[in-house]
């Protein structure tokens, strides 16, 4: 059996782009993947929210670790919104595919804030975390308001 590396190498040699993102055998897999990656992200983001809102004590190390994970995870879900993944066990709105550039803009905004969030969490200052958390949460909400069914 060919290893993943061999397959990637063969694809490269054949001039085929090798995306860093996951590939999905069927639409249900893509839907599961994006929901699960968003869920994991929400767990780490939620811990930052609890600190930012004073529900748990501020822990600079935990904040930096969680924010770094949010940034890493922020890259995952979007490749799983491909064509044909609009139907099934999903709250994704048809606007995602009808207004693809707007959706892309929203995800880019979120990713940019996630980068800032990770940087802010590294300063060890709660006020920096609060600001960056608020800005990032606004991009989550902005996208949900338009692109996620209630």
Q: C-beta of 23: minimal distance to ligand ASC in Å?
A: 26
Residues that bind ligand ASC (CB under 6 A): 42, 45-46, 49, 137, 140-141
CA distance 87 to 103: 17
Select 64 or 140, whichever has its Cβ closest to ligand ASC. 140
Confirm if 81 and 34 have CB atoms less than 8 A apart: yes
Instruction: Kindly tell me the sign of the dihedral angle through the C-alpha atoms of 103, 109, 115, 119.
Output: negative
Please identify, using beta-carbon distances, which residue of 66 and 85 lies nearer to ligand ASC.
66
Give least dist CB 13 to ligand ASC, A: 41
Write down the least CB distance from residue 93 to ligand ASC, Å: 15
Would you state the structure tokens that stand for residue 101, as one six-digit string? 């550039």
């Amino acid at each position: 059996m060919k290893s993943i590396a061999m397959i990637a190498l063969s694809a490269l040699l054949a001039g085929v782009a090798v995306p860093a993102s996951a590939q999905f055998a069927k639409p249900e897999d893509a839907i599961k993947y994006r929901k699960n990656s968003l869920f994991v992200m929400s767990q780490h983001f939620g811990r930052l929210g609890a600190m930012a809102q004073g529900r748990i004590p501020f822990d600079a190390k935990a904040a930096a670790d969680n924010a770094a994970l949010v940034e890493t995870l922020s890259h995952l879900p979007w490749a799983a919104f491909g064509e044909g993944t609009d139907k099934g066990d999903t709250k994704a709105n048809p606007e995602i595919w009808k207004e693809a550039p707007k959706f892309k803009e929203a995800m880019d905004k979120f990713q940019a804030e996630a980068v800032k969030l990770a940087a802010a969490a590294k300063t060890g200052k709660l006020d920096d975390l609060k600001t960056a958390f608020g800005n990032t949460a606004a991009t989550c909400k902005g996208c949900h308001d338009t692109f996620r069914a209630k």
